[in-house]
A = this chain, B = another copy of it.
Amino acid sequence: MSATRIRILSARNVLPLGRGQSGGAQRSDGDSKLRLLTSPHLSPSSPARALSSLSATRRGLPQEKMSENGMMSRAKVLTIDNMNPTVKKVEYAVRGPIVQRALELERELSEGMKKPFAEVIKANIGDAHAMGQQPITFFRQVLALCSYPELLNDNTFPEDAKSRAHRILQSCGGNSMGSYSASQGIESVRKDVALYIERRDGGMPCDPDNIYLTTGASDGIVTMLKLLVCGEGASRTGIMISIPQYPLYSAALAELGAVQINYYLNEENCWSMDINELQRALNEAREYCNPRALCIINPGNPTGQVQSRQCIEDVIRFAAKERLFLMADEVYQDNVYADGCEFHSFKKVLFEMGPEYSKSVELASFHSTSKCYMGECGFRGGYMEIINMDDEVKVQLTKLVSVRLCPPVPGQALMDLVVNPPQPGEPSYDSFLKERTATLNALAEKAKLTEQVLNTVQGISCNPVQGAMYSFPRIIIPEKAIKEAMALGQQPDMFYCMKMLEETGICLVPGSGFGQKDGTYHFRYSA
């Protein structure tokens, strides 16, 4: 397939995962991207303009103002001063000012402006296909068949792709992906998800009624947080999140008006979770809010660590003791690279700890089609599994998701394929396995390479990338640059990343967008 696929943007495949290419070629390409990254010419000029233009405000408008054509126009009904204050508090660095500037730079390049680089490289987001990773052929064949069922008569499609498409269409109203599904998701897909979880977790039972299909994992996470928020003042709901964190969490909490409780991952111990730190964060938070849930990202985003089974058990014990609802973001469950590391689902560990825990600890875990070897972000597929949720709350959850009608059906179909891929003996099995393995190997290689190359650079130190798709290296920023950044009202790491962008075209996300210990600076680099 890769040979015939249109490759108009082939120049962008800086770190290609192309299955037809040699490992050597990948290494050299990857290396060149990383080399760029290690040589920022930190000159203190251009970024100021970029940022200040983005942060320009013009408050205090008069009730009437002169419009362009000289006509008096009324003041706006909806202004920055009277809009929803919780929305204003939302920050989302992964698509924040630096990405806005990257888009501007792309436009300027396309208009022929001269830059010190030929293209913008977006290492700001885990967007695998945009970086050249190829989709799994089988998945796309089935999606094409579901989109245009006339193709079921086309003998060039493998039989297993056809039977899978047939089965998905049978579960759709009027045999069309254009029909709404049940709000919780297509029943047959939820059943397949449950079987997948049972296999993954060594036979632990999974009830399809506990599966909710979602619009990507983000949708499920926000929905769960929404259920948990209540109270005012000192009894306001607090949610514990790791620092560094994925900024969806802080954004959702800001919007919902919940209290964000930071617990710090231990950078010195490969970004591990530490129960003492959880306890410290919780005890302090109880002074000013009502902590109700603990969020974990494993494998970690942006930090790339993989939690040990022991650590997960400790976390579950802590949640049980402290009466916290657990939210386990496990979207990188196939992205584990380091020797001796293994993915353990919170569900499995919980169930292995016996009925004292498995019958009581409330858990929601999240998965999606966007990461792992699939990288199908654009389809917005995902699911959540809820364990031990109160029956009445579950009724409310089902009602709540019904308001958005249903998750996108193509994303549901894709989720079905992810949890129920070709099996040994089926015509597509060999090619599926080959593609999947090649992609995971390439990701593993990039993880290793990232760590190696970054650690060769003076002023950068990077923990091993055990899993996920990111590294979060620590950077030493010269005192002079820090002062200059401060004078501009910028975070020093934002200043650093903005310079990197202006001078090399590489778009990183500053560590301040994820949170970091005071006085330390990082960036997230997406492989």
Contact = CB atoms under 8 A, between A and B. Distances in A.
27 contacts: A5-B149, A6-B166, A6-B175, A74-B323, A76-B388, A76-B390, A77-B293, A77-B325, A78-B389, A83-B393, A84-B226, A87-B226, A90-B399, A91-B399, A95-B402, A140-B150, A144-B147, A151-B151, A178-B374, A178-B378, A178-B379, A215-B215, A218-B404, A222-B404, A248-B403, A252-B403, A410-B410
Contacts of A393: 76, 78-80, 83
B405 A408 contact: no
A177 B376 CA distance: 8
A251 B403 contact: yes
Central interface residue in A1, A177, A375, by most chain B CB within 10 Å? A177
Given A230-B84, A378-B180, A144 B153 contact: no
A176 interface: yes
Given A12-B174, A80-B393, A84-B228, 9 more contacts: A6-B149, A78-B362, A90-B399, A129-B179, A133-B174, A151-B151, A216-B404, A380-B405, A380-B409
A103 B182 contact: yes
Contacts of A39: none
B362 A377 contact: no
A406 interface: yes
Contact of A148 (B141, B149, B324): B141
A183 B218 CA distance: 14
B127 A392 contact: no
A62 interface: no
Interface in A343-385: 355, 359-360, 362, 374-380
Interface residues of A, number: 123
A96 B69 CA distance: 51
By CB atoms of chain B within 10 A, which of A131, A148, A402, A411 has the most? A148
Contact of A396 (B6, B80, B325): B80
A77 B324 contact: yes
Contacts of A227: 78, 83-84, 87
B392 A405 contact: no
Contact of A83 (B88, B103, B228): B228
Nearest first, the 7 closest Cβ-Cβ pairs linking A and B are A130-B173, A378-B409, A144-B148, A129-B176, A95-B402, A80-B392, A130-B179
Interface in A68-109: 69, 71, 73-74, 76-80, 82-85, 87-88, 90-92, 94-96, 103
B229 A84 contact: yes
A77 B323 contact: yes
A170 interface: yes
Nearest to A414: B178
Given A84-B230, A129-B179, A133-B174, A6 B402 contact: no
Interface of A: 1, 4-9, 12-13, 57-58, 67, 69, 71, 73-74, 76-80, 82-85, 87-88, 90-92, 94-96, 103, 125, 127-133, 135, 137, 140-141, 143-145, 147-154, 156, 166, 169-170, 172-183, 215-216, 218-219, 222, 226-230, 248, 251-252, 255, 292-293, 320, 323-325, 355, 359-360, 362, 374-380, 388-393, 396, 399-400, 402-411
A125 B406 CA distance: 13
A309 to B, nearest CB: 24
Contacts of A255: 226, 400, 403
A132 to B, nearest CB: 6
B403 A174 contact: no
Contacts of A130: 173-174, 176, 179-180
